[in-house]
Structure 1
Amino acid sequence: MEPSTAEQSLARQPVWKALWIVSLGHFLNDTMTTLVPSLLPLFQSHLGLSYIELGVLVLVANVTSSMVQPIIGAWTDRHPKAWLLPAGEFVVGAGAAAMGFAPSYGWLLVLVALLGAGSAAFHPEASRAAHLAAGVQKGTAQSIFQVGGNAGQAIAPLVVSLLFVHTGLHGSVWLLVPAMLAAGALATIVPWYGAKAKGKAPRVVRTAGGTGATWAVVLLLVVVTFRSWMQAGLSGFLPLYYVNVRGLSTSVAEVYTALFLLAGALGTFIGGPLSDRIGKRRLILISMAGGIPFSLVLPYAHGIWAAVDVVLLGFIVLSTFAVTVVFGQELMPGRIGLVSGLMIGLAVGMGGVGASLAGYVADRFGITTAIEILAVLPLLAAVLAWWLPEDRPLSPRGRPATKPHH
């Protein structure tokens, strides 16, 4: 029996409650995972770690998440697992709470790996939940989901300044409280998610690149990887640069990182709806090219101008978080979990590789040189983004502006 016009219209509308709960879960999840790079100065002083050991720590946090996410995503494409939403959130909280008590570098690596595994379980199913709740407003819905994660990443440095600077690393035990609250909130949408995942998948708007455009997905992954290298590198080493080169306190240095990530969260919130109107490829290209002057100025800006620069850089370059996920989902319809695992997990997690390379460069040539190299990455991403296939924005009524190409 064909659905009525009213039912079709309802299916096109976002399920706001589910979207905001998943976004809240994403917020707390990414707050805890981003504490790893944000706590690098404290780990360095507490355990006497080198720059490369700090880079490897970020690498472990990202790789345990990134290498597993696509596998979980591909598995749950066939068999959605709603229970992974609260379970993954709780594991992340447990790992984050315990890492402040790590007696050695080896134990710290184990606990950070546990945190990454919880994040790997959470992200593909959370992204699928956002997709199912989106109606036809995929960019807008993914922005709501991703802005939760970006805001969490931005808050993490402030948690270091407001909590850990005063309590020491043992203050991590308090992270169990929000983790349990978030897991409880996510548990309330498990019945809705389970029922929705078993139903008919929403119609997918194809891109001009065509279904299964593997080359375009690979190219998009590389663009996201360059963006992730810059973000992870700056999140971890910008505070160290301001502390060790500029002579700022840890609390003040973390504020610059928070400004960078908060601006990115705002950019993400605006970028998704904007991409629904102007197209995803166009927004990615504008974002990468537009960030070039601000990234190149970053190592040389001081005081208030440094704050202005990191805000503009974060807003412009990080505005594509939701856009790249939705773009990948449209290029590979029916593989929501796999694509989410690739775009949120593998490509973003590759930021850990970038952080390790930045740590190696900082040890060999100085941290200023590492920051200067990270500043070039938006230029490389912009060059590659030019070759992405065109997509069709939505009309003002929320429909594709043109008919799909077959």
Structure 2
Amino acid sequence: MTDTLASRAVDAPSALPTTPSTVASTTQTALPILVMLSVCHLLNDLMQSLLPAIYPLLKQNFSLDFGQIGLITLTFQLTASLLQPVVGIWTDRHPMPWSLATGMGFTLCGLLLLAHADSFPLLLCAAALIGSGSSVFHPESSRVARMASGGRHGFAQSVFQVGGNIGSASGPLLAAFIVMPRGQGSIAWFATAALVAIALLTRIGSWYGAHIGAHRVAARAQRGSGLPRRTVVVTLLVLGVLIFSKYFYLASISSYYTFYLMQKFQLDASNAQLHLFAFLGAVAAGTLIGGPLGDRIGRRYVIWGSILGVLPFTLLLPHANLLWTTVLTIVIGLILSSAFSAIIVYAQELVPGRTGVIAGLFFGFAFGMGGLGAAVLGELADHIGIEAVYALCAWLPAIGLLAWFLPPVGKRAHA
């Protein structure tokens, strides 16, 4: 697939006529659309983050072990990761503005099933439905964000991403104050968020349909990165390994941080969720910083500094007391999260004109690595203990040394 990405540009004819207003939109940042996308990403990831946030509740209600918890996460993440590249490939050739709202409908169904599930297989089905909604939302929304960027690609990707990070951070907080005290059935209250997102995505889909013609013309006019095909393929593989290190480590925090705090520092579930909220809030802040910083200084520097630069803090974390654990996880979230927007835009510049495929591949691979990480680390925690898992994961950011091999691409090739 990477050979195809490296050698082909968008070649499907535009199905829509272009007008002066749509042509102008390719050079102007459509901030209202970016804000609506960010809000939808917030709502989408808020609903998705309820699943890991209620793991302590599900573990108690269904007598689950860590391996089963990891399997729930794996089901969600793999459903999303395997379908996202397929969605990206198809919509590069056949844009579907209505798919955004339709995908959110899958999330709505999964959320309602999660609220009323009474067996482990139904929990897995709910996770799969939520993952299917994600598989449509992320590549298509990333495409619309690039369309609305007006050339400020890192800024647009960060605005889009930060909504998701805020939603991911809010999920555990809402779970602590709403779901944990009231029980599993209260998850159904969040169906309102899905309905609001469907309404907004219908409006975004109308804008998408009206502007896709001009943007596909602009995409066909883009030149390649100028790099040999072999270099492009190797670079995509390096980016994949960097995402592996980032999301395996993030899986150790997002899925098991509450259990780590409860076991090591004897916190109750609600207090542990507040610490997780602090970490995820730092992730949101780092995401907002990373994209514009990449626009300014070059994306390679951001990728390098983000993944490798977090290593000293991850190595200290397993040996810290509660106060310094909180401080270190906030620093880790802030630094590590700045990479993803830069990686997405860097890859889109590496293979111009294949926005959907790149977004689908990298969002999908990120989800897949997060799910695989949750499953593997869950099984490992059952055998060696959660504290030993954190000591082992602390070395993952050392893989960031591979960023040295990323070639310069895009507007800041000199960076």
Using the size of structure 1 for normalisation, the TM-score is: 0.92
| SS of aligned partner of 2:405 | coil
Structure 1 residue 8 displacement after superposition: 7.0
- What is the CA distance between 1:390 and its match in structure 2? 2.0
Corresponding residue for 1:384? 402
C-alpha spacing 1:209/1:242, structure 2 compared with 1 (3 Å): farther
Which of 58, 61, 64 is the equivalent residue of 2:76?
A: 61
| Superposition pairs of residues 4-403 of structure 1, within 5 angstroms | 11-201=26-216, 202=218, 204=222, 207=225, 209=227, 213-380=232-399, 382-392=400-410, 394=412
Q: Runs of 4 or more off by more than 4 Å in structure 1? A: 6-10, 203-212
The offset of 1:392, in angstroms, is 4.8
Whole-Å Cα distance in 2 between the matches of residues 284 and 348 of structure 1?
19
Kept in 2, the 8 Å contact 1:71–1:341? The answer is yes
CA distance in 2, matches of 1:250, 1:97: 24
Letter in 1 for 2:351: M
- Give the deviation of 1:3 after TM superposition: 9.4
One-letter code of the match for 1:293?
P
What letter matches 1:92 in structure 2?
T
SS of match in other structure, 1:334: coil
Contact conserved, 1:208 with 1:389, CA < 8 A, in 2? Answer: no
Question: Could you say if the C-alpha distance between residues 206 and 260 of structure 1 is closer, same or farther in structure 2, counting changes exceeding 3 Å?
Answer: farther
**Counting helix residues as a fraction of each chain, which structure ranks higher?**
2
The letter for the 2-side match of 1:263 is A
Report the Cα distance in structure 2 between the residues aligned to 1:223 and 1:135, rounded to whole angstroms. Answer: 28
Q: What letter is aligned with 1:235?
A: S
Is the Cα contact below 8 Å between 2:349 and 2:410 reproduced in 1?
Answer: no
SS in 2 for 1:135: coil
Deviation at 1:328, TM superposition (A): 1.2
Mapped to 2, the partners of 1:374 and 1:45 lie a distance apart of 27
Does the residue aligned with 1:245 lie in a helix, a strand or coil? helix
Distance 1:249 1:341 in 2: 38
Give the distance between the partners of 1:265 and 1:69, measured in 2 at CA: 22
Q: Residue type matched to 2:404 in 1?
A: W
5+ residue gaps in structure 1? 395-399
Partner Cα separation in structure 2 for residue 76 and residue 392 of structure 1: 24
CA deviation profile, 1:33-87 (whole Å, cap 9, x unmatched): 2222222111111100011111111111100000100001100000011111111
> What are the superposed Cα offsets for residues 320-373 of structure 1, whole Å, 9 maximum, x if unpaired?
121111111111111111110111122333211011110111011111111222
What is the aligned-residue RMSD (CA, Å)?
A: 2.2
Which runs of 5 or more structure 2 residues have no equivalent in the other structure? 1-17
1:210 is displaced (CA, Å) by 5.9
Letter of the aligned partner of 2:328 in structure 1?
Answer: D
Q: CA deviation at 1:206?
A: 5.8
In structure 1, the residue matched to 2:10 is none
Deviation at 1:295, TM superposition (A): 1.0
- The 1:327–1:205 alpha-carbon spacing in structure 2 relative to 1, beyond 3 Å, is farther
Question: Structure 2 counterpart of 1:60, which letter?
Answer: T
The sequence identity of aligned pairs, in percent, is 36
CA contact (8 A) 1:77 1:335 kept: yes
Aligned AA for 1:144? V
The count of aligned residue pairs is: 395
- Mapped partners of 2:233, 2:50: distance in 1: 34
Shift of 1:100: 2.4
Note the C-alpha offset of 1:97: 2.9
Residue 199 of structure 1 and its aligned partner are, at CA, apart by 2.4
> Following TM superposition, by how much is the alpha carbon of 1:257 offset from its aligned partner in structure 2, in angstroms?
1.5
Distance in 1 separating the partners of 2:226 and 2:302:
16
Q: Say if 1:147 and 1:32 are closer, same or farther in 2 by CA, change over 3 A.
A: same
1:291 Cα deviation from its structure 2 partner: 0.5
The residue aligned with 2:14 is none
Q: Which amino acid aligns with 1:32?
A: M
